[in-house]
Structure 1
Amino acid sequence: QNDAKGLAEMARMGWYREAAVKGAENWKTRSMLAARTKLVNLRRDIDNQMRGLCKGLGIVLGKAGSTNLARKVDAVLAEAPDLQDIFAPLVLAQSCLTEQIERFNRQLMAVAKGDQTVRRMMTVPGIGPLTALSFVVTIDNPTRFKHSADVGAYLGLTPRRYQSGEMDRTGRISKRGNHQMRTYLFEAANVLLTVVRRGSALKRWGSKLAKR
């Protein structure tokens, strides 16, 4: 009874923050993205484990994606069958993870193709289906943000600012909010600045920001 009275008083006085409840469909897509990221991280750990084991044997596998890495490990096992007991379980686990990641990729691609907003975002240089889809489901309802700067704060991209006299220093970002979304945006920005060759107003703005 006392708790109910206290909550009613807080609602009457406005001493609370409204929490937006996202739709069930967006929750499902966000869960798929999170599950895929978990599998990708697990596969990366296995890849690094195999690289470390090979390096300990004096074998440097070099730069390679997960598929090419498995082929290189198979080539090592062909020349050193006594290592089969060590590497075979890791290669099998990596193969299973890759298969399930591809399954998630197909499902997420189908969702992206069916969403007009996601397809429109994919026209931005450096933005792929995963980044666009993750952004759309994270923001959910854009009308709940009064200003575009509020979106940056919501994603933890607001930098600290220190001003004193003639000193004006910009610090690190707050890193609040969705870590996965910030990772996708960082990767997209890196692709825009280093891979995309076609010039655009966004790329020019990003280049000036990087120089500053």
Structure 2
Amino acid sequence: MHGGALAGWLLLTLCAVSGAVCLLRARTGPPGERGSARSEAVMAFGMAVMAVPAALLSPPGWAWAVYAALFGVAALRSLRPALRDGCRLHHLVGSLAMVYMAVAMAPGAMGSAGDGGGHLGHGAGGAGGVPLLTGALLVYYAWYVLTSAGRLLPATATVGGALGAPGAEGRGEGGGGGGAGSRSELTDACRLTMGLAMFAMLLTL
């Protein structure tokens, strides 16, 4: 990543952990959520590979085409479901953003000449991408991160405020909604992490 090896390692770790959590959700979650979890796992691991520091691995010049093809197929698969499902619409935006970043990695494409096909942001002076499109994606992911964080904050406040409330022990231990609530919070946290990682990667363009 253009931000340096430390930023690359941090993003790689966050995305890899998110991908592992998504794979776990795909195996143990409700049937209706497993397809979404698999899509998010592919996205997370793709971002992790894209974030590998150049000091560790210098990819071949055609690597961008593999990224573009993989996430182009993912975008096509998300196209029809995105018309009726907001979560799949987010997957579609994410897949298209990955295609966009992959094309920006291409040697000589969008101002990244002289890169030789390195990882995202390693072009000449880190230049790459279309400023207007990059800005629109940054705005979208900033909004997504804020709304995802907003879904987590009330739950945290409720738990903290309910410690001394009558009946709090029963709700926390056995009521039957705790597992679903914890799973939902884990999903939101995973998506928040991936949104932050995407925002950071777009900043390198």
- TM normalised by structure 1 equals 0.23
Q: Which protein is richer in helix relative to its size?
A: 2
Larger radius of gyration: 1
